[in-house]
A and B are shown apart, each in its own frame.
Chain A
Amino acid sequence: METYDLSQNHIVTPPEEIALSTNQLQVYYGSGSRASMTDASLSFPRFQITALIGASGSGKSTYLRSLNRMNDRIARIEGEIMYRGTNINSPKVNVYEVRKHIGMVFQKPNPFAKSISENITFALKAAGITNRQELNERVETSLKEAALWNEVKDDLNKSALALSGGQQQRLCIARALAMKPDILLLDEPASALDPISTTKLEVTLKELTKNYTIIIVTHNMQQASRISAYTAFFHLGHVIEYDQTEKIFQTPEIQATHDYVTGNFG
C-alpha cells in the first residue's frame, strides 16, 4: 500500500449557512492513547447532503458517531463540535437533547421488536407527546417522508421485524425523522439494501434536504456523487480532502483522494 502524506490536506469551508461544524476533533477508543480520529475540522452546510467517503477503517463511523455523542460510552473525544452556537462536545451538555436534534440511522436496520407504529411513537411518547391524533399524524408524515407509507399503511400494527430489510431501514429513517431532528446522520444506510431499495432511499434523501441537513457515510462512490453537495475523504483517521462533490470526484487536489476516487487506491 502506498503511503500518503497525512499532513497534506485540502479542506474548504462552504460559503452556505453552516448547520454543524467540528474543530480539531480527536477520538480515542477505550483507554488507549492512539487517536482513531485526528484533528478533524469540517463544516457542514445547512439543507445539503454531505458525504463521507474513505476506505474501511479510515474513521468515518468514528467521526460520524461522535457528532451526536453516540461514542460517549466507548471513546474519549477531544475538540469542539459546534451546533447552534453551543459546543455540544462539552460534559455539561445534555446529550439526550443533542440526540433529539441530531438523529442517526445505522448501517444495519435496527427496528425495535414492536409494531411499525410503536417503533415511531415510542420515542415520541417518551418525549412527552401523548395526544393520540398528533402521534398518528407524526407516524403518517414520517412514514411518507421516508417513502414507506404506501407499503405499510394497512399494517401499522404489524411487527416491524416482519418487514423486509429495505423497508426496515426506511422505517428506521422514519423513526429518526419523527423526532423532527435538525440534522440526520446516516452510516452506510444502503449497504444492506438491493439496488431498487437503494434508489428509493436516495430519492428519499434528496427530498429530505428541503427540511433536513444530512451527513451520510457511504462506500458507494456513485451514490456519493449522485446525492451529495459536499464530500469529505477520510484516510487513516485523517480528513484528507473536503470540497464540493464535483471537485472531489473530478479534480481533487490531493493525490490520495485522486487515487481513491479513481479506484487506484492501495
Chain B
Amino acid sequence: MDDIQHKLTAPSKASREDVMGRIISYTCIAAIIILVISILYFITSRGVATFTANHVNLWQFLSGKEWNPGTLNASGQPQVGALPMIVTSFSVTILAALVATPFAIAVALFMTDIAPKNGAKFLQPVIELLVGIPSVVYGFIGLTVVVPFIRHLFGGTGSGILAGTIVLFVMVLPTITSLAVDALKAVPTYFRSASLALGATRFQTIYKVLLRAAMPRLLTAVIFGMARAFGEALAVQMVIGNAALMPHNLVTPTSTLTSQLTTNIGNTIMGTLPNNALWSLALILLLMSLVFNLLIRYIGKRGEIKS
C-alpha cells in the first residue's frame, strides 16, 4: 500500500523525461527568437549609422537622385540619394506583379474550374518545379535570352527595368499561381453549384462569386509574389544593368536595392559611409519585407471576418 502511495507521488523517469523534452524544445524556439531579434537589431543598427554616424539627412537619402557615396557634391554633402534604387525596385516589383497576376489567376482558374482533371494533373507538378528553379538560373536565362532580345528590339544594352520585369514575372508567376490555386480551392463547392443552379454562366460564376469569395486570399497571393520580387537579388542583378541611375525609361541600365547591395557590399570598407549607405539600403529591404508581412496579415484577418 505505502509503496504504491510513494510511487504515485514521487517523480519518475517519465517526469524527468518531460522536463528534458521541455528544455530541449524551449531552447530551440528560443534560439530562433534570438536569431530573429539579432537580425532585426544588427541590420537596423548598421542601417541607421548613415544617419547617426555620418549625419546624412534621412529625407535627402530617400529623395536624392545622385548615388555616389564615395564623393561629395558641390555643397560638400555626400551623394547618397537612394531614390533611383527605390524607384527601380518598386517599378520592377509592381510591373512584374501586374503582368503576372492575370496569367496566374487564369492558370489557377483553369486548374480549379475549367479543366480541373487534366489541367491540374499536368500543370501542378510543372508549377511546383518552377517554384523550385533557383533564381540564378532565371537570371542566366534572362541574361542570355531576354537581354539580347530587348537589345535587338530597342538598342542600347538591353538591361534595365523591362528585362528585370520579365525575369521577375516568370519567377513570381508560379508563386502567385500556386497560392491562387489554394485560394480558389478554399471556396466551397456549393458556392459554385448554387450560382450555376441559379442559371449563371460559368464566367458569371467565376467573376461574381468565385473571385469575390477568394479575393482576400488572391490579394495575399499577389502580395506574396511582390514580396518575393522585391527581395530577389541575383536574378535581377544579372539583367538590370547595375548603374545607380534614375531610370528614365524601361530599357536603360539602372539598379535595384538588392542589386546595388550585392554588387557593392564587398567593395566597400566596413564602417565607412559608402558601406553604411549600403546597409541603409538593406534596412529599406528589411522594412519593406515587414510591410509586406503586415499587409498579408491585415488582408488575411479581413478575409476571415468576411467569410
Contacts and interface: CB of A to CB of B under 8 A. Distances in A.
Interface of A: 83-86, 88, 92-94, 96-98, 101, 126, 128
Contacts of B13: 128
Contacts of A85: 1, 5
A21 to B, nearest CB: 15
Contact of B9 (A94, A126, A128): A94
7 contacts: A83-B8, A84-B4, A88-B8, A94-B8, A96-B12, A97-B8, A98-B8
Nearest to B14: A96
Contacts of A92: 9
A97 B7 CA distance: 7
B19 to A, nearest CB: 12
Interface in B1-30: 1, 4-5, 7-15
A94 B7 contact: yes
Contacts of A96: 12, 14-15
A98 B7 CA distance: 9
B13 to A, nearest CB: 7
Contacts of A86: 4-5, 8-9
Given A94-B11, A128-B13, 4 more contacts: A94-B9, A96-B14, A97-B10, A101-B8
Contacts of B5: 84-86
Interface string B72-104: 000000000000000000000000000000000
A96 B17 CA distance: 11
Name the interface size band of chain B: 10 to 19
Contacts of A84: 1, 4-5, 8
Q: Which 9 residue pairs across A and B have the least CB separation, nearest first?
A: A96-B14, A86-B5, A86-B8, A84-B4, A97-B8, A97-B7, A94-B12, A93-B8, A97-B12
A124 to B, nearest CB: 13
B204 to A, nearest CB: 44
A101 B12 CA distance: 14
Contacts of A88: 8
A102 to B, nearest CB: 10
A128 B13 CA distance: 9
Contacts of B9: 86, 92-94
Contacts of A98: 8
Contacts of B14: 94, 96-97, 126
Contacts of A128: 13
A86 B10 CA distance: 12
Contacts of A83: 8
A17 to B, nearest CB: 13
Contacts of A94: 7-12, 14-15
A128 B15 CA distance: 14
A202 to B, nearest CB: 30
B1 to A, nearest CB: 6
A88 B7 CA distance: 11
Contacts of B12: 94, 96-97
Interface string B186-214: 00000000000000000000000000000
B85 to A, nearest CB: 50
A210 to B, nearest CB: 20
B256 to A, nearest CB: 49
A73 B8 CA distance: 19
B187 to A, nearest CB: 31
Nearest to B18: A96
A97 B15 CA distance: 9
A101 B13 CA distance: 16
A82 to B, nearest CB: 11
Interface string B275-293: 0000000000000000000
Nearest to A99: B14
A129 to B, nearest CB: 12
A145 B27 CA distance: 44
Most chain A beta carbons < 10 A, residue from B8, B11, B15: B8
Contacts of B1: 84-85
